[in-house]
Chains A and B, each alone.
Chain A
Amino acid sequence: MEFGIIALIIIIILKQYKPEFSVYVSIIAGIIIIFLIMDKLYGIINLLLNISNKTGTGSEFIGILLKITGIAILTEFAVSICKDSGENAIASKIDLGGKIIIISISIPIITALLEMLLTMLS
C-alpha cells in the first residue's frame, strides 16, 4: 500500500516536468505491487493443487483454472496501464484478446461438461 502512495507522489512531481516518465513510474509501481502479492498467491496455488490432488477428480481442470487466472491478471495489468495513459482503444483490444485466449483455453472444460450432460440425458 505504501508503494502505491510513494509512486503516486513521484508521479505527481514528475508530471509537471516530464509527463512521459509518469507512465513508466506507474508501470513499475504496478509490477512491484504484483510481486509483493506473488508469495501469498503462491501459497494459495499450492493449497489448490494439494486439494485437487487429494480428491483426484478434475485435477486437469484446476490447471486450466490456474491458467485462466494468470491470463486474467496479466490482461488486467495491461488494460489498466493503457487506460491510465488514455489509450482506451488499445485497452479494449487487449481485453478482447485476453477473453478470446481464455475461451480457447477453456474448450476442454466445455466439451467435458457437454459429454457429462449427454451421458446423463441418454
Chain B
Amino acid sequence: MDIDLLFKIAAIGILVAVLHQVLVRAGREDQAMMTTLAGLIIVLTMVIKEISTLFNTVRTMFGL
C-alpha cells in the first residue's frame, strides 16, 4: 500500500501501449486488442483489491 503500486500500474499501462503498437504494426489488430483488455483487467483487479481494503478500513474505523 505505497508508491510501488502506482509504478506497477504505470508500467503495465506503458507495456500494454507498446505491445499494442507492436502488434498493430505486425498486422494482428485482434491480438493487440486482446493484450489491451488483458492489461486493463489485471490493473482492474489490483485497483478493486485496494478499494475493498479502503472500504473495510473505513468501515471498521467509523463503526459503519
Contacts and interface: CB of A to CB of B under 8 A. Distances in A.
Contacts, number: 90
Interface of B: 1-3, 5-7, 9-10, 12-14, 16-17, 36, 39-40, 43-44, 46-47, 50-51, 53-55, 57-59, 61-64
Mostly, the A contact residues are helix
Which residue of B47, B54, B59 has the most chain A CB atoms within 10 A of its CB atom? B54
A32 B6 contact: yes
Q: Lowest 7 A-B CB distances belong to which pairs?
A: A70-B62, A21-B13, A17-B17, A10-B10, A66-B62, A18-B13, A14-B13
Nearest to A71: B64
Interface residues of chain B: helix, strand, loop or mixed (majority): helix
A34 B61 CA distance: 13
Interface of A: 3, 6-7, 10, 13-14, 17-18, 20-21, 24-25, 27-29, 31-32, 34-35, 38, 41-42, 45, 63, 66-67, 69-71, 73-74, 77
A27 B13 CA distance: 15
Contacts of A34: 54, 58
Contacts of B1: 31-32, 35
